[in-house]
Amino acid sequence: MPSVTPILTSCSVLVTRANEWLKANPYVKVKTCESIEVKGRLDGVVDTRKSSYFEADHCRRKMRNMYIRALRLWVVPRSRDDPPDPQQFGYVNIVPSRSDHGVFDSFGETIRKFNAHLRKHPLPGRVMNVESQEMKFHEWGVGVDPDESCWVESVKFNVSFLVVIRVFFEAGASAFEEIGCADFVPTCRDVGSQFATSDFEDFGNVVYKARCWIRQQQDVRVTNIQSIDYKLLHGTNINDVDTQRSFYVESGLHTTRYLRVLRICFVKPFVGGPLMLDEPFRLNYVTFEPLMISSGGIIGIPLFQTMDETMKRAMNWINQTPPELEVISAETVPVRMFSGNQYGNHEVTYTWNRGEQKEFWLLVLRIFVNGDFDVSPADLLPDMDDKDKDNKCACVLL
């Protein structure tokens, strides 16, 4: 029988559900939204609590991978200065244009065209965050549906990706803003050789570069921060990293190499001018990795904490940080556990994929904040009773 991709809820329906949830919970508001990719079963069943999954190789004809794109809301308590009505939000997708020759607009050109559109048709509200979403698609098909929430990788050696931009905004009076992004790339410390792997800066060094850049900006409002794996062109020098490319192909037969870059997303008003900041922006981050419950032995599969348990540790940590520490955004980051140069280390920025090889992934949570902190790691903090909690941040998955 032919394989059939299950029909699941689109992004627009998920946002409608999210707005209904906000009406039922008017004491909170969305700080940032996150479109997350979750591996599901071929019958459409998905377990969003799982923090790890296997990705089958593309060369075995009986093996297929199905993915679901869900919507994760990071919410915070509403303040007295917020409007009395429950918060509502919307979104817009920006798909790179394609020329008659099959060439897609660059990432920067796509943003430039969208900003030109915004000056004539401003968003009906205030930008919450800007996402770069890698959409899988068949080049010979009808193209990319940015609202698609389910797809299956079947017997196809190469997988094509297109970077689509998704902007979430809080509904209300227009803030007359345009969007922008700044990318920070790990520096190659050693190009390697036939017998040695290339060595790049760790993620923390890249964040430090971004921190220095943000401190010098006076006319932008940082909306969110995202780490993205960009395909390397040929070698491992700086010229092989092109974060402006919006299209790439992952090989099913050969090695595809990636470099994890940091993208700072921001907005600025149409009419320029410095923003009134109380003090300089101090970018920091903390990562929460699901704790291993069982190694699985020699041939078994490792067992990790669920995403709910990991999220609880993250919320515990946030709620015990100083009140002046501001959560900027959060992301769910996939990490290769047994391959591709990462081996479970979420700080590694240089990695690769071999199409003929299975992948075992672990999902970690990374939270970006504005401010310095000196709080013990979440797994060392005591659990708080519900009656003692004064939640500064929480998470909802739709």
pLDDT in tens, 276-327: 666 788 999 999 999 999 877 777 778 899 999 999 999 889 888 888 899 9
Q: Give domain limits for the chain.
A: 11-397
Q: How do residues 90-129 score in pLDDT, each as one tens digit?
A: 999 999 998 866 689 999 999 999 999 999 999 999 999 9
Look at residue 140 and tell me whether its pLDDT is greater than 70.
no
With cut-offs at 50, 70 and 90, classify the pLDDT of residue 353.
Answer: confident
List alpha helices for the chain, DSSP H.
11-24, 107-120, 203-215, 307-318
Q: What is the DSSP letter of 59?
A: S
Cα angle: 205, vertex 371, 207; to 5 degrees? 15
Token look-up 């032995």 returns: 297
Helix (H, G, I), strand (E, B) or coil at 44: coil
Residue with token string 């520490």: 325
Please compute the mean of the pLDDT values over residues 147-176 and round it to a whole number. Answer: 83
Q: Which of 147-161, 197-211, 306-320, 321-335 has the lowest mean pLDDT?
A: 147-161
Residue 333 CA to residue 163 CA, distance in Å, equals 17
Q: Choose between 341 and 292: higher pLDDT.
A: 292
Q: For position 1, what pLDDT does the model report?
A: 34
- Report the length, in residues, of the chain: 398
Least confident of 125-139, 217-231, 341-355, 360-374: 341-355
Identify whether the C-beta of residue 326 lies closer than 8 Å to the C-beta of residue 369. Answer: yes
Instruction: Return d(Cα 226, Cα 298) in angstroms, integer.
Output: 35
Q: Could you tell me what percentage of the chain is helix, strand and coil, using 3-state DSSP and rounding each to the nearest 5?
A: 15, 40, 45
Cα separation, 304 vs 99, in Å, equals: 46
Q: Is the overall model pTM greater than 0.85, yes or no?
A: yes
Distance CA 313, CA 384 (A): 10
H or E segment to which residue 128 belongs = strand 125-137
Higher pLDDT, 70 or 178: 178
First to last CA, the chain: 32
Q: Give the chain's mean pLDDT.
A: 83
pLDDT one-digit tens code per residue, 36-47: 888 776 666 677
The mean pLDDT value for 373-377 works out to 69
Cβ atoms 44, 3 nearer than 8 A? no
- Which pLDDT score, from 0 to 100, does residue 170 have? 96
pLDDT category, 373, cuts 50, 70, 90?
confident
